[in-house]
Amino acid sequence: MKSLCSRQSAPLFLGLLLTACASIGPQDTEQFIFLDESETLFVTFSHSANPIYQASAPDIADTMEKNRYDDFMYVMEELLYLYQLPIQVHVLARWEEPGSGPLLEIYAPRFEQDQTGDLVATISAKLSKYGELNTLGTYSQRDTPPVGGSRQRMDDAFRDVIRKPLREMFDDLQHHFPTPEESESIQAPLNELGLE
């Protein structure tokens, strides 16, 4: 009887533990982050291959991570050209450190072919600037892979599946560039203090 109760309470305990861990990370601040066109926006991307591959076949996991990083970079360059953001953007290489200025952190908890065979991309994005933090959101897409796909067709399919989440993220990011009215409101206190 005791072991049955322990088994039933284990999922509940695990759920509470995961909830507690999720709340330990940095929390959003009340201050809305406006991006200044004179700054450089640094962008990081992180993704880890499925833990099963990491444990059983680390070389395959490393290759998967590299391929997905390359797919992300390809789509990111394409979207940066398309959106023409009014700020200089520097997408950091895998082990490059950001400089001073705003930072856009993109994390892909899932960017893989799942057990059903579908291609899945889930990204979460956070914008930080000088101690302030705004979560942009979590974005997902699921697609079916090409039939009998070659390596090139699979790469194209992975790029397609992450393109929609990244586009939605870019749409949300654009709200962080102030309108002329908002710029005037932001500058007013600085003007009164003689800082502008």
Class of residue 130 by CB neighbours under 10 A (exposed 0-12, middle 13-18, buried 19+): exposed
**Structurally, what CATH architecture does the domain formed by 27-174 represent?**
2-Layer Sandwich (3.30)
Contact 79, 166 (CB under 8 A): yes
pLDDT attached to residue 20: 43
All structural domains of the chain with their residue ranges? 27-174
pTM over 0.85: no
Alpha carbon separation from 111 to 70, 98, 161, 190 (Å, rounded): 12, 23, 9, 44
How many angstroms separate the CA atoms of 176 and 121, rounded?
24
Predicted confidence (pLDDT) per residue in 50-73, tens digit: 776 667 677 877 888 899 999 999
pLDDT attached to residue 107: 96
